[in-house]
Amino acid sequence: MSSTSDASNTIEETVQIQLSKPVLRPGSKGRAVEELQHLLSYWGVYTGPVNGEFANQTEQGVKEFQRRVFVQVDGVVAEQTWRALYTGGPVDMPELSKGCHGELVKTLQRILKSTQDYIGWIDGDFGPLTESALTSLQRRCELPVTGVVEERTWHALSKVNR
C-alpha cells in the first residue's frame, strides 16, 4: 500500500490491494463463494441466493461485473476481479489519451457513443473527436477536464449503463 499526501488536510491516496483469495469458477463451493455472492449483490449484479455455490446465476453476475469494470469476461474470479470487487471499479487500467489506438479505445468510443457524446466511427483511434467527447463526459461527471482517461475517468465510465 502506498499513499501520498501534502501538508494540508487533503489526502490523495493511491491504494494497491493485494488479496490472498482463491480463484473461483463454476462448481466452486464454500465461504469464498458466499463472500463473492455478497459482493456481487452489493454491486447490483446478482440477485440470487447467498448459498456458497458457484452456479449459473453467480457466473452470470461475475460476467456482468467483469464487463462493467473492463476485466476479461470469462466468469472466473481471479486476482484482478477480486480487487475490482473490493474497489467497486476498474483496476490496472492504462491511461488513454490522444494518439492511443486499440481495443480499449474502441471500448471508450462505444461508451461515449452510448452517452451521445461521441459521433464518430468506432475505429480504435483516439483522435480529436474522441478527445472532445471525453471532455464533454468529464465535464458532465464533474471530473477534471483533461481529455485523458485516468483512474477517476475509468471509474466514471464503468458506471455508464451500456
Query: So where are the chain's domains?
Result: 1-92, 103-158
Kindly tell me the burial class for residue 99, based on how many C-beta atoms sit within 10 Å of its own C-beta (0-12, 13-18, 19 or more). Answer: exposed
Please state, for a pLDDT cut of 90, what percent of the chain lies above it. 86
CATH level 3 topology of 103-158: Muramoyl-pentapeptide Carboxypeptidase; domain 1 (1.10.101)
Let me know if the fold of 1-92 is the same as that of 103-158: yes
Beta bridge partners of residue 53, listed in sequence order:
29
Its sign, for the CA torsion 3, 81, 93, 114, is negative
Instruction: State the pLDDT confidence band at 141, using cuts at 50, 70 and 90.
Output: very high
CATH superfamily for 1-92 is PGBD-like superfamily/PGBD (1.10.101.10)
Summarised one tens digit per residue, pLDDT across range 67-81 is: 999 999 999 999 999
Q: Cα–chain-centroid distance for residue 57?
A: 21
Round to whole Å and give the CA distance between 162 and 159: 9
pLDDT at 2: 38
Q: What pLDDT score was predicted for residue 20?
A: 85
Q: List residues bridging with 77 in a β-sheet.
A: 24
Alpha-carbon span 81 to 87, nearest angstrom: 10
Average pLDDT over residues 101-129: 97
> Whole-model pTM above 0.85?
no
